[in-house]
Amino acid sequence: MNGEQPSLAKGAPGAAPPELLQPLRAFFPRDAELLAKLGLHTVADLLFYFPKRYEDFTQLRRVEELQEGRDAVVCGVIREADHRRTRRGKHVSTVVVEADGGLVRCVWFHQPFRRTQLVRGRRVAIQGKPRRKGVTWEFVHPRVVMLDETTSPTQKHLLPIYGLTAGLEASTLRNRIRWVVERYAREVPEMLPESFRQEKRLLGVQEAVHRMHLPASREEAREARRRFAYQELWMLQLAMGLKRAQRQEQARAPVLPVDARIDARIRRRFAFELTEDQRKAVEEIAADMARPVPMARLLQGDVGSGKTVVAQYAMLLAVAHGYKAALMAPTEVLARQHARTLFRSLRGSRVRTGLLVGSLTPAQRQRVRDELARGEIDLLIGTQALVHEKICWDRLGLVVIDEQHRFGVMQRAHLRHGEQEPHYLVMTATPIPRTVALALYGDLDVSVLRERPPGRQPVKTYWVRPDQEGKWWAFVRRKLHEGRQAMVVASRVEGDPEREVAGVEELAKRLGRGVLSGFRLGMLHGRLPPAEKDRIMVDFASGRIDVLVATSVIEVGIDVPNAVVMTIEGAEHFGLAQLHQMRGRVGRGAFPGFVGLFAQPSTEEAIQRLETFVATEDGFEIAEADFRLRGAGELLGTRQHGATPLRVADLRKDAELLQEAREDALVILKEDPHLASPKWQAVRERIVRRYGELLELAEVG
């Protein structure tokens, strides 16, 4: 729980006193470099470096006190350690721990990293539910904590567990933090008005910092965490409100209204009727673009729900008014796929399109830039090259951003021209759980596509057990003989013997010599040169490749209606959202799709993930399940979002706290939209420092 740091600017409201700005090198010269690797440079940094969790040593038991199936902790020394593979190649780690009052046996399956962690003579704490195994107590897959000489096995307390870096012992970091907390926690300045803290029943910041690191009980730790989790969620909601107010009052965008003539002209480009969800999204976007305030809308929809059609409507609306539109994708594969789709859809129209991606030669890129500068391109598709290249963006009316929810200050500066900003439409094919949307996208308006366009075929998903693999491959061959195409997904480019995972190259060779011999196989992964990737994609789309063996690079950018079967090897190594994205690559044409999962999960969470995936095709249900299983950190990885702005709050646990914080923030913003009153001055200063760059908040209201 890396906590939020106090305001450190000298002279700022609620600013930290000089004592908290002292460098850690002055106190811990031997550890300063290691602490710096964790981003810890000052006393304040260490005070707000909160534990990730606590090991509950209050349940510490002697061996004779253990009870079947009842959670317990035992501490002791590893006397025997055995790490081996079974005849079937599965890894098993078994250790015998001499604990207070006897011996216990511990077993882990499919965790080869335990070999270097669990060695004879190592002091450990084991937590889990014991069971009788003959005359011995046994723990299966228990949690394990490495102990040091300063942690007595007779202590019954909460042990804080912090994030570490190589070379820094857990005991060393705990001792350093304890020393700083005992001396400097009382110096932390309070940001929240006392009346507000009393109304919300929040601990004072000094007491909360002390309890986060040195709680006497679970209740003390919970109260301290509630203070910082609430503060974090509340401040983020205030930040979202400030962002909205700033955009509505300061930014100006071109006014691009739609009329019956423009609407009819755009809809003629579609060879189908829009779904009800698509029509509603188009109406919301058109209303936004008719206003002089930059649109900031998130278009989220399930795989195959037709987001690109909605985005195309918005881009053509901008072009109809004589403005340019840009579509930016996260990868060249997806950018080229968008380009092919739009080129095909706009064939015969007067709309001029262009493509700008990294693999173009310097001369090709310059030609695109020159054509854009001369006004010969209306709609430009590309990757990050759109903001990194020196481009003349005269009369840019709309930017569509695919799968990049946060668009940085410098990136927007590249797209700005004169006093006007373009409108922004962000698309995601990963449905966002309601709690996450409230917490992290409150500054965006949201349009949702749930319906599938007519003609999209269902996709059946199967968990293929080891004894069923022969039947599955026979089914794949049958579909190939019928003239259909298939995909096989590997979780890695190279194999990993420790994790018993095959790489894509090894898998392609094995299939080509075995169950898929006689068919034309192609291989695709992220390390191939862009031109080679594009050639393989074209060959697969044109039917010159029967089976595409690939990594997860195929989760976006593949639109081959004839591809109906997908096999995912090592499916347990993928997240739910990623599995769902990959499944969306089949069943895109007139034929139903089929997905087979080859998986041998070793954890309960992995089993739940696979069972959920097999049970539903609904991306919104899958997103909620993924959120429950793995939290927002996984859903908002660097590919989607960058670093999550939440360090203490957990959106799975804190949904009610988020709602409370949101309601409180809305009340405050209604009375004081810019937090300009002296009461909230320190809060606003902290918000700008904490979230200013992420949300492009101005320093003053």
pLDDT (tens digit, 9 = 90+) per residue, 228-284?
999 999 998 998 888 888 777 777 899 999 999 999 999 988 878 899 999 999 999
Check: CB of residue 213 under 8 Å from CB of residue 181.
Answer: yes
Based on the domain organization, do 347 and 466 belong to the same domain? no
pTM for this prediction: 0.68
Beta-carbon contacts of 647 under 8 Å, excluding residues fewer than 6 positions away, are: 1, 2, 3, 4, 50, 232
Residue 281 burial by CB count (10 A; 0-12/13-18/19+): exposed, middle or buried? buried
pLDDT (tens digit, 9 = 90+) per residue, 450-460?
887 776 778 99
13 found inside a domain: no
Residues paired with 23 in a beta bridge: 42
116 found inside a domain: yes
Type of residue numbered 262 = I
630 found inside a domain: no
Based on the domain organization, do 35 and 85 belong to the same domain? no
Return d(Cα 177, Cα 45) in angstroms, integer: 10
What three-state secondary structure class fits 430?
A: coil
The beta strand positions in 483-562, using DSSP E, are 485-489, 521-524, 547-550
Return d(Cα 676, Cα 678) in angstroms, integer: 7
Based on the domain organization, do 483 and 556 belong to the same domain? yes
239 found inside a domain: no
Distance of CA 295 to the CA centre of its chain: 24
Check: CB of residue 504 under 8 Å from CB of residue 496.
Answer: no
Check: CB of residue 280 under 8 Å from CB of residue 313.
Answer: no
235 found inside a domain: no
- CATH number, domain at 63? 2.40.50.140
pLDDT at 606: 85
Based on the domain organization, do 592 and 490 belong to the same domain? yes
Q: Which of 616, 650, 676 is the last residue of a domain?
A: 616
Type of residue numbered 655 = A
Return d(Cα 1, Cα 81) in angstroms, integer: 33
Q: Which of 142, 161, 180 is the last residue of a domain?
A: 161
Q: Which of 141, 161, 181 is the last residue of a domain?
A: 161
Based on the domain organization, do 463 and 367 belong to the same domain? no
432 found inside a domain: yes
Based on the domain organization, do 555 and 466 belong to the same domain? yes
Check: CB of residue 8 under 8 Å from CB of residue 15.
Answer: yes
Based on the domain organization, do 407 and 282 belong to the same domain? yes
pLDDT (tens digit, 9 = 90+) per residue, 167-217?
888 889 999 999 999 999 999 999 899 999 999 999 999 999 999 999 988
Distance of CA 341 to the CA centre of its chain: 27
Q: Mean of the pLDDT values across residues 592-599?
A: 94
pLDDT band for position 417 (cuts 50, 70, 90): low
Check: CB of residue 574 under 8 Å from CB of residue 544.
Answer: no
Return d(Cα 419, Cα 261) in angstroms, integer: 29
pLDDT at 609: 87
Residue 14: pLDDT above 50? no
Helices (H) and strands (E) in the chain, counts: 24, 22
pLDDT band for position 477 (cuts 50, 70, 90): very high
How many domains are contained in the chain?
4
pLDDT at 214: 93
Based on the domain organization, do 303 and 286 belong to the same domain? yes
673 found inside a domain: no
Check: CB of residue 24 under 8 Å from CB of residue 43.
Answer: yes
Beta-carbon contacts of 58 under 8 Å, excluding residues fewer than 6 positions away, are: 156, 157, 158, 217, 218
- CATH number, domain at 439? 3.40.50.300
Return d(Cα 28, Cα 37) in angstroms, integer: 14
3-state secondary structure 80-110: EEEEEECCCCCEEEEEEEEECCEEEEEEEEC
pLDDT band for position 497 (cuts 50, 70, 90): very low
Q: Mean of the pLDDT values across residues 560-575?
A: 91
Residue 645: pLDDT above 80? no
Beta-carbon contacts of 351 under 8 Å, excluding residues fewer than 6 positions away, are: 316, 319, 378, 379
Return d(Cα 76, Cα 96) in angstroms, integer: 10
Return d(Cα 240, Cα 305) in angstroms, integer: 28
**Residue 143 structural domain:** 55-161
Type of residue numbered 307 = K
pLDDT at 631: 61
Residue 11: pLDDT above 60? no
pLDDT (tens digit, 9 = 90+) per residue, 294-350?
998 889 887 778 888 999 999 999 999 999 999 998 878 788 888 888 888 888 888
Residue 641: pLDDT above 60? no
Type of residue numbered 538 = V
599 found inside a domain: yes
Q: Mean of the pLDDT values across residues 577-602?
A: 88
Based on the domain organization, do 291 and 174 belong to the same domain? no
Based on the domain organization, do 156 and 180 belong to the same domain? no
Based on the domain organization, do 432 and 478 belong to the same domain? no
pLDDT at 411: 55
Distance of CA 360 to the CA centre of its chain: 30
Residue 227 burial by CB count (10 A; 0-12/13-18/19+): exposed, middle or buried? buried
Q: Which of 89, 87, 84 is nearest to 107 (CA)?
A: 84
Based on the domain organization, do 46 and 145 belong to the same domain? no
